[in-house]
Amino acid sequence: MNIFKLAVRGLMRNRRRSMMTLLAIALGFAAISLFAGYTHNVYDGLERQSIHGELLGHLTLSKRGMSKEGKLNPERYMLNAEEVARITGLLRNEAHVKLVAPRLSLSGLISNGRASTIFIAEGISPEAMQGLQAGVLTEEEERTGMYVDIIKKLDPLHSENALLSFGLADMLHLKKGGQASLLSNTLTGQANALDITVGGTFDTGNAGSNDKFSFMSLSLAQTLYDTNGAADRLTVLLDDVDQTGIMRERLQQKLRGAGFDMEIKTWQELSDFYNQVHNMFDMIFGFIFSIVLTVVVMSVANSMGMTVVERTREIGTLRAIGLKRSGVVKLFTAESLMLTLLGCLTGLLLTFGVRYGINVAHISYTPPNGASAIPLLVDMDFWRTMFTLVLMVVVGTLAAYLPARRAAKQAIIDALGHV
């Protein structure tokens, strides 16, 4: 028997009910896949922001213990000029390695001559800064020029220039070209001060750091720290984010072989914000997914339950003329399979439509802890959409199993006598 043909005809029998169930499935599916697409966009944005915007690169290398003990004993954990050169040389020839950038972070006080406040600064070469930021904008963002001002640029010709975050510049009434003084400790613990010129301002994207962050050239940072060619870590940029884990292992082995006991952290391990947002959205997604899946299953089970009751006589007839119990179960589960599959495919079309509408509407919003508005965009999360489709179809089909099994177990004479 062509069970699917019979299933389709069965669905057409009570069109309104089938349509309402199909709509419930379609809306549920669209809600899940749109949210998955939105979170995919957020994850993707945060990934780009972390790797390229925050200049974390894909991997960060430092001497083992640097992250815990480095502030207490910087001399021990700092990479000297020779180590920086040797490690850089070892890494540069590796496949997938696009860039190796020595970095030096420091903190201290910044003054405009009248008032002072704390600052946290990153020393990085202007070329490395430019290289790390390549890819921070999507093609669409680059094309429209909407977010071009988030690119931070240090002037390679003026090493005395530093970039200040918006809040910090605003607090000290400093504008581009303005003068300020930095006071910090040297590597040996002495106080050291330098005059800088404000080379520009930037948005950290985070309200918590937007009033204290600064970028300066590596040479300026090294001068302030009174160290020649030293760095506290090396940032490695890869050509493929999916290689991050593999490359960590590979580089670790290579450096160990060369006599360096290094700690290598991935961008995900270093970006707390990314992890927090990811975990939060994953939890929300799971919550929404569970609710929608429950609604869909209830809807399908209710619809199929009613269908089975209405067609009890028919089931009796089919059993009488030779359909086995398993055939009855197959018939109704096939009907449910068709219904959920059609519902999911309708939901997929709905997802494409709504996604397109949202993406061309240029909606923007300011996220929690965000310093500025970001666009609301929805991606197509292929894997989670496929997962939703498969799970919905499987669970929706199983939702018909119990009523179908109950019907199949009914005595034929009772089913035939059903009114």
Partner 1 sequence: MTMQTNLQPLLRLREIRRRFMLGETTIEALNSVSLDIHSGEFLAVWGPSGSGKSTMMNIIGLIDAPTSGEVWFDGQDTRSLKDDELTDFRGHKIGFVFQGFNLVPVLTALENVMLPLQIQGVSEHKARERAMAALIDVGLERFKASRPDKLSGGQRQRVAIARALAVEPKLVIADEPTANLDSENSRMVVDLMRDMNRARGVTFVFTTHDPRLLEHVDRKILLRDGSIESDEVAQ
Interacting residues toward partner 1 by CB under 8 A? 1-2, 6, 9-10, 12-13, 313-314, 316-327, 411-413, 416
Residues whose CB is less than 8 angstroms from the CB of residue 319 and which lie 6 or more positions away in sequence, other chains included: 325, 328, 408, 412, 415
| Nearest distance in Å: CB 50, partner 1 | 57
Min dist. Cβ of residue 403 to partner 1 (A)? 19
Provide the terminal-to-terminal Cα distance of the chain, rounded to the nearest Å: 26
What's the rounded Cα separation, in Å, for the pair 88 and 77? 17
How far apart are CB 18 and partner 1 at their closest, in Å?
Answer: 12
DSSP tag of 324:
-
Q: Looking at beta carbons only, is 2 or 190 nearer to partner 1?
A: 2
240, containing H or E segment: none
Type of residue numbered 294: T
Cβ proximity to partner 1: between 192 and 312 the closer is 312
Residue number, 72 or 321, with CB nearest to partner 1: 321
Question: At its nearest, how many Å lie between partner 1 and the CB of residue 338?
Answer: 14
Helix (H, G, I), strand (E, B) or coil at 124: coil
**CB nearer partner 1, residue 9 or residue 71:** 9
Provide, rounded to whole angstroms, the least separation between the CB of residue 402 and partner 1. 19
Return d(Cα 202, Cα 76) in angstroms, integer: 33
CB of 339 to partner 1, least distance (A): 15
Q: Is 277 helix (H, G, I), strand (E, B) or coil?
A: helix
Phi, psi (degrees; rounded to nearest 5) at 39: -65, -35
Q: By CB neighbour count within 10 A (0-12 exposed, 13-18 middle, 19+ buried), where does 113 fall?
A: exposed
Bridge-based pairing of strands 116-123 and 97-111 is: antiparallel
